[in-house]
Structure 1
Amino acid sequence: MNGDVRYLSEEVEIQLKRGPTGLGFNIVGGIDQLYISKDAAIIVTKIKPDGAAHTDGRLQEGDKILKINEHDLRNITHQQAVELFRNAGDDVTLTILQQVGVVSGCK
Protein backbone atom coordinates (compact mmCIF):
# COMPACT_ATOMS: atom_id res chain seq x y z
CA MET A 1 0.00 0.00 0.00
CA ASN A 2 1.43 3.33 -1.07
CA GLY A 3 -0.08 6.67 -0.22
CA ASP A 4 0.60 10.21 0.73
CA VAL A 5 0.97 11.11 4.38
CA ARG A 6 -0.74 14.36 5.22
CA TYR A 7 -0.72 16.02 8.60
CA LEU A 8 -3.79 17.45 10.22
CA SER A 9 -3.78 19.42 13.44
CA GLU A 10 -6.05 18.28 16.22
CA GLU A 11 -6.82 20.17 19.44
CA VAL A 12 -6.64 17.85 22.44
CA GLU A 13 -7.17 18.40 26.17
CA ILE A 14 -4.91 16.50 28.59
CA GLN A 15 -5.05 16.34 32.37
CA LEU A 16 -1.76 15.74 34.19
CA LYS A 17 -1.00 15.34 37.89
CA ARG A 18 2.25 17.04 38.85
CA GLY A 19 4.76 14.49 40.11
CA PRO A 20 7.83 14.83 42.34
CA THR A 21 9.85 16.11 39.37
CA GLY A 22 7.12 18.42 38.02
CA LEU A 23 5.13 17.84 34.85
CA GLY A 24 8.00 16.10 33.11
CA PHE A 25 8.62 18.07 29.92
CA ASN A 26 10.58 21.03 28.55
CA ILE A 27 9.22 23.90 26.47
CA VAL A 28 10.55 26.52 24.09
CA GLY A 29 8.98 29.47 22.34
CA GLY A 30 7.12 32.63 23.18
CA ILE A 31 6.89 36.02 21.50
CA ASP A 32 10.43 36.84 22.63
CA GLN A 33 12.02 33.48 21.72
CA LEU A 34 10.60 32.23 18.44
CA TYR A 35 11.42 28.54 18.01
CA ILE A 36 9.77 28.39 14.59
CA SER A 37 10.05 31.38 12.27
CA LYS A 38 6.99 33.65 12.57
CA ASP A 39 5.38 31.35 15.18
CA ALA A 40 5.41 32.37 18.86
CA ALA A 41 3.85 29.08 20.01
CA ILE A 42 4.95 27.33 23.19
CA ILE A 43 6.27 23.98 21.98
CA VAL A 44 7.20 20.78 23.83
CA THR A 45 10.83 19.90 23.07
CA LYS A 46 11.50 17.03 25.46
CA ILE A 47 9.44 14.51 27.41
CA LYS A 48 11.40 13.43 30.47
CA PRO A 49 11.50 9.69 31.22
CA ASP A 50 9.23 8.65 34.10
CA GLY A 51 7.72 12.13 34.42
CA ALA A 52 3.99 12.86 34.54
CA ALA A 53 3.77 13.53 30.78
CA HIS A 54 5.71 10.36 29.93
CA THR A 55 3.54 8.23 32.21
CA ASP A 56 0.36 9.67 30.68
CA GLY A 57 1.70 9.10 27.17
CA ARG A 58 -0.43 11.57 25.20
CA LEU A 59 1.82 14.65 25.13
CA GLN A 60 4.44 14.40 22.38
CA GLU A 61 7.57 16.31 21.46
CA GLY A 62 6.60 18.95 18.92
CA ASP A 63 3.11 19.53 20.35
CA LYS A 64 2.05 23.16 20.68
CA ILE A 65 0.58 24.05 24.06
CA LEU A 66 -2.30 26.47 23.59
CA LYS A 67 -3.56 26.71 27.18
CA ILE A 68 -2.68 25.66 30.70
CA ASN A 69 -5.62 25.65 33.12
CA GLU A 70 -7.58 28.02 30.83
CA HIS A 71 -4.66 30.49 30.62
CA ASP A 72 -4.02 31.19 26.95
CA LEU A 73 -0.35 30.75 26.06
CA ARG A 74 -0.56 32.48 22.70
CA ASN A 75 1.20 35.84 22.44
CA ILE A 76 3.08 35.67 25.74
CA THR A 77 6.80 35.65 26.53
CA HIS A 78 8.71 32.49 27.32
CA GLN A 79 9.18 33.58 30.94
CA GLN A 80 5.44 34.27 31.35
CA ALA A 81 4.73 30.73 30.11
CA VAL A 82 7.28 29.27 32.53
CA GLU A 83 5.66 31.13 35.44
CA LEU A 84 2.20 29.84 34.46
CA PHE A 85 3.55 26.28 34.49
CA ARG A 86 5.29 26.79 37.83
CA ASN A 87 2.14 28.18 39.44
CA ALA A 88 -0.38 25.83 37.83
CA GLY A 89 -0.90 23.62 40.88
CA ASP A 90 -0.86 19.84 41.14
CA ASP A 91 -3.74 19.09 38.75
CA VAL A 92 -3.02 20.63 35.38
CA THR A 93 -5.16 20.77 32.26
CA LEU A 94 -3.34 21.37 28.99
CA THR A 95 -4.96 22.22 25.68
CA ILE A 96 -2.55 21.19 22.95
CA LEU A 97 -2.36 21.14 19.19
CA GLN A 98 -1.04 17.84 17.87
CA GLN A 99 -0.20 16.84 14.34
CA VAL A 100 -1.92 13.64 13.30
CA GLY A 101 -0.60 11.76 10.27
CA VAL A 102 -3.23 10.59 7.82
CA VAL A 103 -2.44 8.26 4.92
CA SER A 104 -4.51 9.07 1.87
CA GLY A 105 -4.73 7.58 -1.58
CA CYS A 106 -3.34 4.23 -2.66
CA LYS A 107 -1.10 3.85 -5.67
Structure 2
Amino acid sequence: KGTGSDNIGKFTINGIYSPETSRLGLSKKYQLGTGNKTENLGHTVTIQLTWNETNNQFEGKWYVQTNKYRGNDKFQLKFDGQHLSTKLNSDDKSLGFTISGGIDKPVLNHFTSIIISHIYENALADGVEQLKSYDILLRVNDIDITNMKQETVLDILKRSGKQIKLFIRRLSPPIIKTIELQHNGRLGIRITGGIGREYIPDDHGIFIKHINTLQTNDRLEIGDRLLQISSMVK
Protein backbone atom coordinates (compact mmCIF):
# COMPACT_ATOMS: atom_id res chain seq x y z
CA LYS A 1 0.00 0.00 0.00
CA GLY A 2 1.09 3.56 -0.62
CA THR A 3 -0.27 7.10 -0.58
CA GLY A 4 0.39 10.21 -2.61
CA SER A 5 -1.17 13.18 -4.35
CA ASP A 6 -1.17 14.80 -7.76
CA ASN A 7 -3.06 17.54 -9.59
CA ILE A 8 -6.31 15.57 -9.19
CA GLY A 9 -6.09 14.93 -5.47
CA LYS A 10 -4.90 12.57 -2.76
CA PHE A 11 -4.80 8.87 -3.60
CA THR A 12 -3.83 5.43 -2.32
CA ILE A 13 -2.11 2.75 -4.36
CA ASN A 14 -2.77 -0.89 -3.52
CA GLY A 15 -0.91 -3.88 -4.90
CA ILE A 16 -1.41 -7.64 -4.81
CA TYR A 17 1.76 -9.66 -5.38
CA SER A 18 1.57 -13.15 -6.86
CA PRO A 19 4.60 -15.32 -5.98
CA GLU A 20 3.56 -17.80 -8.65
CA THR A 21 3.94 -15.28 -11.48
CA SER A 22 6.26 -12.80 -9.72
CA ARG A 23 3.84 -10.05 -10.66
CA LEU A 24 2.29 -7.21 -8.74
CA GLY A 25 -1.06 -5.78 -9.83
CA LEU A 26 -1.57 -2.13 -8.93
CA SER A 27 -4.64 0.06 -8.56
CA LYS A 28 -4.80 3.77 -7.82
CA LYS A 29 -7.83 5.18 -5.97
CA TYR A 30 -8.50 8.83 -5.24
CA GLN A 31 -9.96 9.78 -1.89
CA LEU A 32 -13.50 11.06 -1.68
CA GLY A 33 -13.61 14.83 -1.84
CA THR A 34 -10.30 15.07 -3.69
CA GLY A 35 -11.37 13.84 -7.09
CA ASN A 36 -13.51 10.76 -6.33
CA LYS A 37 -11.88 8.92 -9.18
CA THR A 38 -10.55 5.40 -9.51
CA GLU A 39 -7.83 4.89 -12.08
CA ASN A 40 -6.56 1.48 -13.14
CA LEU A 41 -2.85 1.74 -13.79
CA GLY A 42 -3.18 -0.97 -16.36
CA HIS A 43 -0.90 -3.96 -16.62
CA THR A 44 1.45 -5.40 -14.03
CA VAL A 45 4.76 -4.79 -12.39
CA THR A 46 7.29 -7.59 -12.76
CA ILE A 47 9.47 -7.99 -9.67
CA GLN A 48 12.66 -9.84 -8.80
CA LEU A 49 13.33 -10.04 -5.06
CA THR A 50 16.49 -11.07 -3.23
CA TRP A 51 16.64 -11.22 0.56
CA ASN A 52 19.68 -9.52 2.13
CA GLU A 53 20.11 -11.03 5.60
CA THR A 54 22.80 -8.50 6.56
CA ASN A 55 20.57 -5.47 5.98
CA ASN A 56 17.34 -7.28 6.95
CA GLN A 57 15.58 -6.18 3.77
CA PHE A 58 14.57 -7.26 0.30
CA GLU A 59 16.52 -5.92 -2.65
CA GLY A 60 15.22 -6.22 -6.15
CA LYS A 61 14.38 -4.80 -9.52
CA TRP A 62 11.06 -4.01 -11.13
CA TYR A 63 9.82 -3.23 -14.58
CA VAL A 64 6.46 -1.60 -15.14
CA GLN A 65 4.46 -0.88 -18.27
CA THR A 66 1.04 0.71 -17.79
CA ASN A 67 -1.24 2.85 -19.88
CA LYS A 68 0.56 5.96 -18.65
CA TYR A 69 4.07 4.92 -17.67
CA ARG A 70 6.85 2.53 -18.50
CA GLY A 71 10.28 2.19 -16.97
CA ASN A 72 12.48 0.22 -14.61
CA ASP A 73 14.26 0.85 -11.35
CA LYS A 74 15.85 -0.73 -8.29
CA PHE A 75 14.24 -0.69 -4.88
CA GLN A 76 14.51 -1.83 -1.28
CA LEU A 77 11.74 -3.10 1.00
CA LYS A 78 12.32 -2.96 4.73
CA PHE A 79 11.01 -6.05 6.54
CA ASP A 80 8.92 -5.32 9.63
CA GLY A 81 10.11 -8.11 11.89
CA GLN A 82 13.13 -10.31 12.47
CA HIS A 83 14.74 -13.52 11.27
CA LEU A 84 16.03 -16.09 13.75
CA SER A 85 17.78 -19.45 13.72
CA THR A 86 17.25 -22.15 16.32
CA LYS A 87 18.32 -25.77 16.80
CA LEU A 88 16.38 -28.68 18.29
CA ASN A 89 17.93 -31.96 19.40
CA SER A 90 15.13 -34.42 18.78
CA ASP A 91 16.69 -37.71 19.99
CA ASP A 92 13.85 -39.49 18.17
CA LYS A 93 11.29 -37.63 20.26
CA SER A 94 8.35 -35.62 19.00
CA LEU A 95 9.30 -32.05 18.22
CA GLY A 96 6.34 -30.85 20.24
CA PHE A 97 4.75 -28.42 17.81
CA THR A 98 2.19 -28.49 15.02
CA ILE A 99 2.21 -26.57 11.78
CA SER A 100 -0.41 -25.00 9.54
CA GLY A 101 -0.34 -23.57 6.04
CA GLY A 102 1.33 -24.65 2.84
CA ILE A 103 0.49 -24.04 -0.80
CA ASP A 104 -2.26 -26.67 -0.58
CA LYS A 105 -3.73 -25.53 2.77
CA PRO A 106 -3.30 -21.75 3.08
CA VAL A 107 -4.04 -20.35 6.53
CA LEU A 108 -5.76 -17.37 4.92
CA ASN A 109 -6.31 -16.39 1.31
CA HIS A 110 -2.96 -15.92 -0.46
CA PHE A 111 -1.04 -16.72 2.78
CA THR A 112 0.62 -20.04 2.04
CA SER A 113 3.52 -19.80 4.49
CA ILE A 114 4.13 -22.63 6.94
CA ILE A 115 3.51 -21.36 10.47
CA ILE A 116 3.91 -22.91 13.90
CA SER A 117 0.30 -23.10 15.05
CA HIS A 118 0.79 -24.68 18.47
CA ILE A 119 3.63 -25.59 20.85
CA TYR A 120 2.77 -28.31 23.34
CA GLU A 121 3.54 -27.73 27.01
CA ASN A 122 6.60 -29.60 28.35
CA ALA A 123 7.43 -30.86 24.86
CA LEU A 124 10.78 -30.55 23.11
CA ALA A 125 9.98 -27.20 21.51
CA ASP A 126 8.48 -25.78 24.71
CA GLY A 127 10.90 -23.45 26.44
CA VAL A 128 13.00 -22.83 23.35
CA GLU A 129 13.31 -19.07 23.51
CA GLN A 130 13.76 -18.67 19.76
CA LEU A 131 10.55 -20.52 18.90
CA LYS A 132 7.04 -19.14 19.38
CA SER A 133 3.55 -19.79 18.08
CA TYR A 134 2.84 -18.10 14.73
CA ASP A 135 6.51 -18.07 13.75
CA ILE A 136 6.87 -18.61 10.00
CA LEU A 137 9.14 -21.49 9.00
CA LEU A 138 11.41 -20.63 6.08
CA ARG A 139 14.04 -23.38 6.08
CA VAL A 140 14.55 -26.76 7.74
CA ASN A 141 18.20 -27.89 7.76
CA ASP A 142 18.92 -25.48 4.87
CA ILE A 143 15.98 -26.81 2.81
CA ASP A 144 13.80 -23.96 1.53
CA ILE A 145 10.17 -24.78 2.45
CA THR A 146 8.55 -21.47 1.46
CA ASN A 147 6.70 -22.92 -1.52
CA MET A 148 5.77 -26.45 -0.45
CA LYS A 149 2.73 -28.49 0.46
CA GLN A 150 2.09 -29.04 4.15
CA GLU A 151 2.52 -32.81 3.87
CA THR A 152 5.91 -32.34 2.19
CA VAL A 153 7.10 -30.11 5.02
CA LEU A 154 5.89 -32.61 7.62
CA ASP A 155 7.86 -35.33 5.86
CA ILE A 156 11.00 -33.14 5.84
CA LEU A 157 10.63 -32.53 9.58
CA LYS A 158 10.21 -36.25 10.27
CA ARG A 159 13.30 -37.14 8.24
CA SER A 160 15.50 -34.30 9.45
CA GLY A 161 17.56 -36.34 11.91
CA LYS A 162 18.43 -35.88 15.56
CA GLN A 163 19.49 -32.24 15.18
CA ILE A 164 17.12 -29.90 13.39
CA LYS A 165 18.04 -26.38 12.39
CA LEU A 166 15.12 -24.06 11.79
CA PHE A 167 15.27 -20.65 10.13
CA ILE A 168 12.18 -18.64 11.02
CA ARG A 169 10.58 -15.29 10.34
CA ARG A 170 8.83 -13.52 13.19
CA LEU A 171 6.59 -10.59 12.39
CA SER A 172 6.41 -7.55 14.61
CA PRO A 173 4.11 -7.81 17.63
CA PRO A 174 0.43 -7.84 16.64
CA ILE A 175 -1.46 -4.57 16.71
CA ILE A 176 -4.38 -4.53 19.13
CA LYS A 177 -7.09 -2.00 18.32
CA THR A 178 -10.33 -1.02 19.99
CA ILE A 179 -12.95 -0.47 17.31
CA GLU A 180 -16.45 0.91 17.90
CA LEU A 181 -19.12 -0.35 15.51
CA GLN A 182 -22.24 1.59 14.63
CA HIS A 183 -25.17 -0.68 13.88
CA ASN A 184 -28.96 -1.00 13.89
CA GLY A 185 -29.11 -4.50 15.28
CA ARG A 186 -26.99 -6.19 12.60
CA LEU A 187 -23.21 -5.85 12.79
CA GLY A 188 -22.63 -6.74 9.15
CA ILE A 189 -19.85 -9.22 9.90
CA ARG A 190 -19.53 -13.01 10.04
CA ILE A 191 -17.13 -14.80 12.37
CA THR A 192 -15.57 -18.23 12.44
CA GLY A 193 -13.46 -20.34 14.79
CA GLY A 194 -13.77 -21.24 18.45
CA ILE A 195 -13.37 -24.46 20.43
CA GLY A 196 -14.41 -27.42 18.33
CA ARG A 197 -14.62 -25.36 15.14
CA GLU A 198 -11.04 -24.15 14.78
CA TYR A 199 -10.46 -21.93 11.75
CA ILE A 200 -6.72 -22.51 12.12
CA PRO A 201 -5.71 -25.98 13.40
CA ASP A 202 -4.98 -25.99 17.16
CA ASP A 203 -6.00 -22.32 17.42
CA HIS A 204 -9.28 -21.65 19.25
CA GLY A 205 -9.37 -17.98 18.26
CA ILE A 206 -12.39 -16.17 16.81
CA PHE A 207 -11.74 -14.49 13.46
CA ILE A 208 -13.67 -12.20 11.13
CA LYS A 209 -14.55 -14.23 8.05
CA HIS A 210 -16.75 -11.84 6.09
CA ILE A 211 -17.64 -8.13 6.09
CA ASN A 212 -20.70 -7.02 4.12
CA THR A 213 -21.88 -3.62 2.97
CA LEU A 214 -23.93 -3.07 6.13
CA GLN A 215 -20.71 -2.47 8.05
CA THR A 216 -19.06 0.79 6.96
CA ASN A 217 -16.18 0.78 9.44
CA ASP A 218 -13.12 0.47 7.20
CA ARG A 219 -10.80 -0.36 10.13
CA LEU A 220 -12.09 -3.94 10.20
CA GLU A 221 -10.37 -6.46 7.96
CA ILE A 222 -11.05 -10.09 7.10
CA GLY A 223 -8.74 -12.26 9.19
CA ASP A 224 -8.79 -9.97 12.25
CA ARG A 225 -8.80 -11.87 15.55
CA LEU A 226 -11.47 -10.86 18.07
CA LEU A 227 -10.11 -10.65 21.62
CA GLN A 228 -12.92 -8.93 23.51
CA ILE A 229 -16.49 -7.78 22.84
CA SER A 230 -18.16 -5.21 25.07
CA SER A 231 -21.37 -3.21 24.87
CA MET A 232 -21.17 0.55 24.96
CA VAL A 233 -24.13 2.31 26.59
CA LYS A 234 -24.51 6.00 25.91
Q: Structure 1 length normalisation: TM-score? A: 0.81
Q: For 2:164 and 2:88, locate their aligned partners in 1 and report how far apart those are by CA, in whole Å.
A: 5
Match of 2:81 among 5, 9, 16: 9
- Look up the match of 2:99: 27
Match for residue 15 of structure 2? none
Match of 1:52 among 100, 108, 124: 124
On the 8 A contact 2:85/2:130 being kept in 1, the answer is no
- 1:74 to 2:146 alignment: yes
Q: Which deviations, in whole Å up to 9, do the C-alpha atoms of 1:82-104 show, x marking residues without a partner? A: 10011011100000001234xxx
- Letter of the structure 2 residue corresponding to residue 72 of structure 1: D
Assess if the C-alpha contact under 8 Å between 1:66 and 1:97 holds in 2: yes
How many angstroms apart in 2 are the aligned matches of 1:55 and 1:61? 12
1:44 is paired with a residue of what secondary structure?
strand
Higher-RCO chain (CA-CA 8 Å, sequence separation at least 6): 1
**Aligned equivalents of 2:84, 2:151: Cα separation in 1:** 24
Unaligned runs of 5+ in 2: 1-78, 174-234
Q: Is the 8 A contact 1:21 1:51 kept in 2?
A: no
1:44-91 residue CA offsets vs partner (Å, 9 max, x unmatched): 010011112113232111100000000111111011001001101110
Q: Give SS of 2:164's match.
A: strand
Does 1:39 find its partner at 2:111? yes
2-structure distance, mates of 1:89, 1:15: 12
Aligned pairs, how many? 96
- Output the CA distance in 2 between the equivalents of 1:90 and 1:100: 31
Aligned 8 A contact 1:10 1:99 in 2: yes
Following TM superposition, the consecutive aligned residue runs of length 4 or more in structure 1 with deviations greater than 3 angstroms are: none
Which structure has the highest helix share of the two?
Answer: 1
Q: Is the 8 A contact 2:104 2:150 kept in 1?
A: yes
Amino acid at match of 2:166: L
- Corresponding residue for residue 98 of structure 1: 170
- Correspondence for 1:85: 157
Unaligned runs of 5+ in 1: 1-6, 102-107
1-structure distance, mates of 2:91, 2:122: 9
C-alpha deviation, 1:19, in angstroms:
5.0
